[in-house]
Each structure stands twice: as structure tokens, then as C-alpha cells.
Amino acid sequence: MILPSGLARGYAANQRLDLGIIGLSGQGQRDAQELLKQGENIAAICDVDSTFLDLRTPDYPKARKYTDFRKMIEGQKLDGVIVATPDHTHAYISVWAMKHGVNVYCQKPLCQTVHEARIMAKVAAETKVVTQMGTYNMAQLETIRSGVLGEITEVHVSTDRPIWPQGFTRPAGEDPVPKTLDWDIYLGPAPARRFKAMYPEGHPIYNPTPEKRHQIDFKNAGLSPVPPVGVLYHPFVFRGWLDFGSGALGDIASHSMNVIFKALELGPPSAVEVVETSGVTKDMFPDWSVLRFEWPQRGAHPPLKIFWYDGGKLPPKEVGAGRGGTIWIGTKGSLPAGRGPFYGSAASAPPQARGGAAARPQTIGAPQDEVHKDWCDAVKAGKQAPCHFGYSGPFTEAYQLGNVALRVGGRIEWDAKAFRVTNNRAANQHLSRNDRKGWELKKIAGSAYNT
């Protein structure tokens, strides 16, 4: 997709992009460091917590500092912004930037709700800026597309997430908002909540049961500095809250399911069902869940099921119990070998799937580089990046439907064209959010807000 001349700015050879980073406590810092390695210029940094602005200033001494992304986007000429804030603000910040003609790299998950995903794809198409969702994992793409496993009928995906607290409720009480934190901007479109710094003394989070111990091991998240055990909202632990995050699905399905959607060229699922779960609380996503996403026959392709396991749950023995990651089951074999109907057969993966340079199929489709480089190269060339919002928007709609199913605790049947759940009226309220006054996405998205 080539941008019109009004937006496709010309760049000289080896010219650096002037970029703004929004969100610096975790992934945003890693994004900024990677962009520096790519040779780009970090011209502006923004965070609602001045603690992180001060902490990162030595890394970007020439960057202008902001606590309000709107002032950064309106007050400084930038070639693009990186949105690495909590999930609930991804859509608002990205749409604000796109409406101002600024290219956007938005961290995964693209957004928090199904409706936001559709809006972001529409706004990207209208404004024609260069977009990219920050997601990885194209492993096995060539093998699956080559057809060596036959038609794919099942995929099983498991993850160790959540590695943050989930399954609790909000503790009572209120703490003073730190002077370093702009709590109003942090809340953004989410419901107004009183600030609370830590779980109270004696809360189970400080003495977790063995099955929840991984939820306080923040060192595994690669954070610097590492948050203290018991921190309630900020930094990092926002992911478990219904107000601010998207749970395990939002964190990892955006990676692990990407190759599935790309390789099989999937559209929207017809249904998502909760197989089993510890249950959503009134405030948080569940400790663990097992979900099944369903697609009907797609032309010559047979029906497909994607099974999702999180919180330590794994596929059954015949599929690959005790093994995490992604398991593909096709009509000719499985990857890894000996799974599903091929259980016990080490030869069920054809040579191309088992490995060996000579056996691997040639690259099929557009090549992908490192995701930050993909986006920067696309901005300079005036074309779209591989995981642009026109692709990642519908993809995000699909996996975020899993969170809708979790919210109602059962099966939902999805009509993507009508944009509604057809078998459970109550589920439709979870497709979108009632934005807090002053942060209404409808006011900045324009006609793209309409489904």
C-alpha cells in the first residue's frame, strides 16, 4: 500500500526518523533501545510518571519530556510515535496520533476491546499513516504455508502467563496519589478509580499458593527496575485488571496466534467457548483458563479449532501434555510429530517439518525483518508495514473475543458483519467500553466509531 504524496514524506538515504516514545516503564524502554540500535533518533519521551521520565533521561538526553501525549503530538514534529502504555489507552492514543497525521507503532495487544480494534483499523485506512502492531513469532510460517502437514484442523497454544496477579478483587481503601504520577491521564478512558498503591498487609499475594507463585516473580518479566511484590496497578501489573489490561490473552495471543492467522489467512472466528476456567472476578481476569476458538469450513479448507491454555494449563496427553508453545495438527501430520490422531507416531511430521536446510520450503509471501525495522523502513518508503492495523485490527478482534467469552463464562457465537454476539445478548456489552467523560473515543474517531 503506497501512501499519497501528502503523507509519504521523502527521506534521504540513511536519514534518521524523529520518534516519540509514549510509556517508558517496561516495553516502551525496550522499544526505544531497539530503535536506537536501528539508528533512529528518540526526539521525545512521554510518561504519566515523572519517575520514569527522570530515570530514562540519561538514555535520551536530547529528547523533550512530556507527561501528556497530546501535548507531545501537537507540539513537536515527529515522524512517528511508539505507544507502549497500558492496554486501555492504546486505542485513544493511537487514534489521536493518526488523526494528527503521525505514523504509529503500537505495542501488543493493539487495544483492549473488540470495538476499539475495528475503529483503529478504520482510522488507519482513512488517514493512510504507516502503522504496525508490535508482535513477533513468525516461526513455522513457511512450513505451515507449504502444506507439508496437509490441511490444519487443530492448533493448541499454551503459555505460562499470567506472570502478574490475577483472580483477586480490588482492596478497599485509598492512598494519596504520588506527586510523580498523573493519575487522571493514567486512567484515561477507564472508569474513575481511587488510587491504591499496594495490596494490604496480610493479603494472599504476599504468601501465594504454589500454583500462583509465578504471579509475583516479576524478575521473569525483564523489568528494570523490578516492581515490589504487592504493587496494585502501576507499574506492569495493570494487565490483570479488567479496567486496564487484557489478561493473558492480550499479552501472549497477540504473539503466539499471529503466525496462525498469517499462515492460515484466517478471518473472524464463528464462535469462542470457555472450556474451563477459574473464573473472572468482578475486577480481574482469571487465574487460568482454557478456551476454544472455532472457524467453519473456509472454501476448500476444513473447519478449524484453536485451543488456548494459560495459567499453567496444558493440552491433554495425546496432544502434548507437559509441553508448552504451539502444536499444529494437520491431515497429513503434526508439528511436533506424534500429536493428536498421530499420537505415538514419530514419523507424523514430514521431513520439511522435522527440519534440515535442504528440506525447508522457500519463503512464501512478503518477508519480515525485525518488527521495529519493518516499521521504520515502511515509514521511509511510504508503504505499509507487515503487521499494519488493517491486518492486526481484525486479528485483535478475534483474540479479544476470547475475553468476551470469559466475561460471560460460556460460549459466544459471533457475527462479525453485524458486529454482535448472536446467542448471548449480555455478551455484547463487553465488545466495547463506556469511556470516561473527557476521554470518549467517539469524539476523536469520527465516523470510524460506527460499526
Q: What is the pLDDT of residues 223-282, one digit of tens each?
A: 778 888 999 999 999 999 999 999 999 999 999 999 999 999 999 999 999 999 999 999
Q: In what order do the strands lie in the sheet with 80-83?
A: 64-66, 41-46, 18-22, 80-83, 103-107, 131-134
Question: What percent of the chain has pLDDT above 70?
Answer: 90
Q: Are 128 and 7 in contact (CB under 8 A)?
A: yes
Model confidence at 115, in pLDDT bands (50, 70, 90)?
very high
**Is 38 inside a domain boundary?**
yes
Classify 326 as helix, strand or coil: strand
Q: What is the DSSP letter of 250?
A: I
Task: Please check whether residue 92 lies inside any domain of the structure.
Answer: yes
Closest CA to 164 of 256, 326, 325, 285: 285
Rounded Cα–Cα distance for residues 144 and 335 (Å)? 9
Which of 99-103, 215-219, 271-275 comes out lowest in average pLDDT? Answer: 215-219
Whether 240 maps to a domain, the answer reads no
Report how far residue 158's alpha carbon sits from residue 45's, in angstroms, rounded to the nearest whole number. 35
Q: How far, in Å, CA of 191 to CA of 353, rounded?
A: 48
Q: At what angle do helices 27-37 and 371-381 cross, to 10 degrees?
A: 60
Q: How many domains does one find in the chain? A: 1
Dist CA 262 CA 137 (whole Å)? 11
pTM score? 0.93
* Contact (CB, 8 A) for 305 and 260: no
Of 27-41, 171-185, 337-351, 382-396, the least confident? 337-351
Q: Can you tell me the distance from the alpha carbon of 278 to that of 311, in angstroms, rounded to the nearest whole number?
A: 10
- Residue 303: which pLDDT band, with cuts at 50, 70 and 90? very high
Q: Among 278, 210, 224, 289, which Cα is nearest to 251's?
A: 289
DSSP 8-state assignment for residue 116 = H
DSSP 136-167: ---TTHHHHHHTTT-SEEEEEEE-----S--S
**pLDDT over threshold 70, residue 203:** yes
Q: Is 284 within 8 Å of 167 (Cβ atoms)? A: yes
In this prediction, residues 390-411 reach a mean pLDDT of 98
CATH number where 114 lies: 3.40.50.720
Is 338 a residue whose pLDDT tops 90? Answer: no
Q: How confident is the model at residue 168 (pLDDT cuts 50, 70, 90)?
A: very high
CA-CA distance, 420 to 425, in Å (whole number)?
A: 8
With respect to residue 61, please indicate whether it lies within any of the assigned structural domains. Answer: yes
Per DSSP, helices labelled H in 339-429 are 351-354, 371-381, 389-408
Report how far residue 331's alpha carbon sits from residue 22's, in angstroms, rounded to the nearest whole number.
Answer: 45
Q: What is the mean pLDDT of residues 89-103?
A: 98
Per-residue pLDDT, 245: 98
pLDDT of residue 319: 87
Confidence band of 365 (pLDDT split at 50, 70, 90): very low
Where in the sequence is the domain holding 68, given as residue range(s)? 18-137+370-390+425-449
Q: Which of 208, 203, 196 is nearest to 233 (CA)?
A: 196
Is 326 a domain residue? no
- Strand runs labelled E in 173-323: 271-277, 289-295, 304-310
Q: What is the helix (H) or strand (E) element at residue 104, kind and residue range? A: strand 103-107
Domain-embedded: residue 157: no
